[in-house]
């Protein structure tokens, strides 16, 4: 499957419009910045528009705080990538006990669906 990464809300809006018009390959979109609470409502609105065309917007997490507010944010499941710092030190959770703890929380969550890992190397 081909997917897209959008790093801004305007990019997500554009990719949502393309998914609604064309479907594949625009139906698998990752918001490529670790999620913050203030962006969640607009991302959820865009994601809900895409449901009818079997499309999804995934979000990145790299802290337990992200998991906490995603789990309490809505009734629907969030599709989640975990952002790992694999040596570039740009962003992401470290590849140690903290990373394992975050991965375990995502996997065990009933409101999150683990999609994969994301890193810059």
User: Which domains are assigned to the chain?
Assistant: 4-120 (3.20.20.10)
The per-residue pLDDT for range 33-76, each reduced to its tens digit, is 999 999 999 999 999 998 888 889 999 999 999 999 999 886 77
Confidence at residue 120, expressed as pLDDT on a 0 to 100 scale: 77
pLDDT, position 86: 85
Distance CA 12, CA 85 (A): 24
Q: Kindly report the CA angle at 82 between 80 and 84, in degrees rounded to 5?
A: 165
Q: Which pLDDT band, with edges at 50, 70 and 90, does 1 fall under? A: low
CA atoms within 13 A on the CB side of 6: 22
């Amino acid at each position: 499957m081909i997917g897209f990464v959008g790093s801004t809300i305007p990019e997500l809006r554009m990719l949502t419009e393309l998914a609604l018009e064309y479907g594949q390959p625009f139906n698998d979109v990752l918001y490529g910045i670790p999620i913050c609470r203030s962006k969640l409502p607009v991302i959820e609105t865009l994601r809900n528009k895409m449901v009818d065309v079997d499309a999804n917007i995934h979000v990145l997490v790299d802290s337990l705080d992200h998991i906490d507010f995603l789990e309490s944010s809505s009734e629907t499941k969030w599709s989640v990538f975990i952002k790992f710092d694999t040596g570039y030190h740009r962003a992401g959770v470290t590849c140690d006990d903290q990373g394992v703890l975050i991965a375990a929380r995502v996997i065990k969550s009933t409101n999150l669906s683990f999609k994969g890992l994301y890193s810059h190397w």
